[in-house]
Amino acid sequence: MENFFDVKGSIVQAYIVCKRQAWLLSRNIGPSPDNPFLEIGKLISQEYYKHDKKEVYFDGVVLDLIRHENEVLLVGEIKKSSRSKNAAMTQLKFYLYKLFKNNINARGKLLIPEEKKTFDVVLSFDDIRDIESLIEEILEFLSRSSPPEPQKIKACSKCSYKEFCWA
């Protein structure tokens, strides 16, 4: 299948939480810019970890943070809360996969500064297989000509697409 769409970290993350959001993101239909939760998220990633290298562009994705720890590259993903922890872990594994494909060995760390929590993430051989099939699945899904209809889920309450979806 021809790749019309760039699978980005945000799309992987969205795909797990809300497929509709992933579809919209693939068409560059971004969220409402003035959603307060979005602004809080932006502030959190600005204000914490000022000593680290942040927003590093690599092979079509943007890594929130990188740092060297014990001679190994550490990739950090900063989140506001642990609400969608699983999706964030997969997003991080997707980044590790991208690095692995470029022969860079790295570890991942999910950072939730406001909750004073961190979670270590490593990429196993099983993960590589899972990520590859997930990317295939996402590409197939994105090629649909219209997004799935909105569905009220838990994530809707603070979602920056709320007004768009329910307008």
Partner 1 sequence: MKKPVYIFSDGVLKRKNNTLFFESEGVQKFIPVENTSEIYIFGEVDLNKRFLEFLTQSEIILHFFNRYGYYVGSFYPREYLNSGYMILKQAEHYLDLQKRLTLAKAFVKGAYKNMKQVLKYYQSRGIDSLDRYIQQMDNQFESISGIDSIATLMAIEGNIRQTYYSSFDLIIDDDNFKFEKRTKRPPRNAINTLISFGNSMMYTIVLSEIYRTHLDPRIGYLHSTNFRRFTLNLDVAEIFKPIIIDRLIFSIISKNMLKPEHFEEDFEGMLLKDEAKKMFINELEQRLSTTITVKNIGNHVSYRQLIRIELYKIEKHLMGEKEYDPYVTQW
Among candidate residues 4, 28, 7, the one with its CA nearest the CA of residue 98: 7
Nearer CB in complex with partner 1: 32/105: 32
Give the residue, chosen from 33, 50, 51, 70, that forms a contact with partner 1 under the rule CB under 8 A: 33
Distance of closest approach, residue 31 Cβ to partner 1, in angstroms: 9
Distance of closest approach, residue 62 Cβ to partner 1, in angstroms: 16
Nearer CB in complex with partner 1: 32/133: 32
Window 3-32: contact mask with partner 1 (x via CB under 8 A) = ------------------------xxxx-x
Which residues neighbour 164 within 8 Å (Cβ) at sequence distance 6 or greater?
24, 29, 31, 32
103 lies in the binding site for partner 1 (CB under 8 A): no
Which residues neighbour 64 within 8 Å (Cβ) at sequence distance 6 or greater?
45, 54, 55, 76, 77, 78, 111
116 lies in the binding site for partner 1 (CB under 8 A): no
Nearer CB in complex with partner 1: 7/112: 7
3-state secondary structure of 20: helix
Given a contact cutoff of 8 angstroms between Cβ atoms, the answer to whether 94 and 129 are in contact is: no
CA 137 to chain centroid, in Å, comes to 16
Q: Which residues bind partner 1 (CB under 8 A)?
A: 27-30, 32-34, 146-147, 149, 162-164, 166-167
